[in-house]
Amino acid sequence: MDYLVEIKKLAAVIILSLAANTGVIAFSRRTADISPQFEPLTYTSIGFVTILSALGAYFTLQLLKKYTDNPIEYFFYISGLVLIASFGPIGHIALNLPEAGMAEANILGLTHVVAAVFIVGTLVKFETLSQRKKPYRT
């Protein structure tokens, strides 16, 4: 395994997903009536969770590549389950924080979807590209 290439891939995944979620937050703050006191929608908290998600997805894919025959298929299944499970706390936040309204809850859910699309999509794209470069076995 070429560690420098893997670090570059991981950095690209993190940068793309952070840029996308930063754009979602910036756009939603300009267009929606978002409470500035709503802590889960700050750049810091969204950035931190996005980086953790990218790291978790990367290492999950690496483990699947090591122990399964079809890692991309299993990675899609696991990613979908994790995305669905990530919506659970949004309802809890929307019900228990006084500054949380429907706009905040919906945008928080949108950040989950955006992170999943960019993280999973980029990791799978890198994986399929690296598989094409492998020479055929004789």
**Predicted pLDDT of residue 136:** 57
b/e sequence 105-115, b meaning 16+ C-beta within 10 Å: bebbeebbebb
- How much is the pTM? 0.88
What is the rounded average pLDDT of the residues 114-127? Answer: 95
Residue ranges per domain, the chain?
Answer: 3-132
Q: What's the pLDDT tens digit per position in 98-118?
A: 777 788 888 989 999 999 999
Q: What's the pLDDT tens digit per position in 33-75?
A: 787 777 888 889 999 999 999 999 999 999 999 999 999 999 9
C-alpha closest to that of 107 among 3, 2, 44, 26:
26
> Is the model's pLDDT at 138 over the cut of 90?
no
